[in-house]
Structure 1
Amino acid sequence: MKKIAIAATVAVLTLFVAACQSDSRKQVLASTASAVQLRSIQSRAFDTTDQQKTLRTVIATLQDLGFVVDNANATLGTVSGTKLDGYALRMTVSVRPRGTTQLLVRANADYNNQAVEDPLPYQQFFAALEKAMFLTAQQVD
């Protein structure tokens, strides 16, 4: 009798663990797909290898958009800024090499400590950055 009860308990636990694993796999795959989509919204490649000039352009762009630059680290290739206009929007931008002829710029925004998944702030940032990069390349002040 004890053997049957133990076998039944093991069978129930096995089914429970299998159900949890299949559900967690679905969640991991769904979150991975959304993470890849978010990363594509947050990233742009630029045809330049001058990381220092790109970081200076990122700083100027953030300031033009009303951000106060909190931290800039040329060694790490990161810039962080906060926009306080009735809300707290924080954006951290990283610049790193992509291959031998490009730099990858990735922006991460959070609003009141919640990740921003809406594409609009990223589109606005990258539209302004692309214009600034063009003007910098043309040596226009």
Structure 2
Amino acid sequence: MKHPVVRIFAPILAAVALAGCQADSRQQILHMDKSQVALRSAQSRAFDTADTELTVRTIIATLQDLGFTVDKVDQTLGLVSATKAGNYVMKMTVTARPRGVDQIVVRASAQHNLTAVSDVAPYQQFFDSLAQSLFLEAHDVI
């Protein structure tokens, strides 16, 4: 039969040892908050235009230029969903909504294998192409 002191202190010692391995939860929360803010910033961009319809059409053209197939468009809601198939499948949902009288906020959200894409590169590529297309549209170059 085991010594009663060992039976009492062994679980306590194990719990203390495991708790020592845990990282500081406050640091984790602060790090997560900063990364979430950076991701939200990469996913959204404001454009100086009041034309939601033109913005949605330009979003569709931009997604197609980037190799996406447009799955769904709701012009009233300013919503576009598209899928890109290749080495991997990426689904992107983009919304355009007015902010004030003379701006449109475009927000993109991408998923890869049902997991949100946290890498900023796909968002930067999309928004760089969209900004260029909207600029060309605004100056009647296209």
Q: In structure 1, what is the equivalent of residue 114 of structure 2?
A: 113
Displacement, 1:32? 3.6
Q: CA deviation at 1:140?
A: 2.1
How far did residue 30 of structure 1 move?
A: 4.5
Trace 1:14-29 onto structure 2 (pairs within 5 A): 23=25
SS in 2 for 1:55: helix
Q: SS of the counterpart of 2:67?
A: coil
Paired residue secondary structure (2:60): helix
1:84 paired with 2:85, answer: yes
**Residue aligning to 1:33:** 34
Q: Deviations over 1:64-103 (max 9, x none)?
A: 0000000110111110100001210111100011122111
The alpha-carbon deviation at position 33 of structure 1 amounts to: 3.3
Alignment of 1:1-141 (within 5 A): 23=25, 30-141=31-142
Structure 1 gap ranges (5+): 1-21
Give the TM-score, by structure 2 length: 0.77
Measure how far apart 1:34 and its partner are.
2.6
The TM-score normalised by the length of structure 1 is 0.78
Q: Per-residue deviation at 1:35?
A: 2.2
Higher helix share: 1
CA distance in 2, matches of 1:127, 1:43: 12
Q: For residues 75 and 32 of structure 1, what CA distance do their matches in structure 2 show?
A: 33
2:92 partner SS: strand
Code of the aligned partner of 1:100: V
* Distance in 2 between residues matched to 1:27 and 1:76, nearest whole Å: 36
TM superposition outliers: structure 1 runs of 4+ over 4 Å = 25-30
Q: Read off the aligned partner of 2:127 and give its amino acid letter.
A: F
Residues in 1 aligned to 2:85 and 2:60: alpha-carbon distance in whole angstroms: 16
| Cα separation, 2, equivalents of 1:92 and 1:86 | 20
SS state of the match for residue 117, structure 1? coil
Percent identical pairs in the alignment equals 55
Q: Which runs of 5+ in 2 are unaligned?
A: 1-23
Q: Secondary structure at the match of 1:72?
A: strand
Give the aligned CA root-mean-square deviation in angstroms.
Answer: 2.2
Deviation at 1:112, TM superposition (A): 1.1
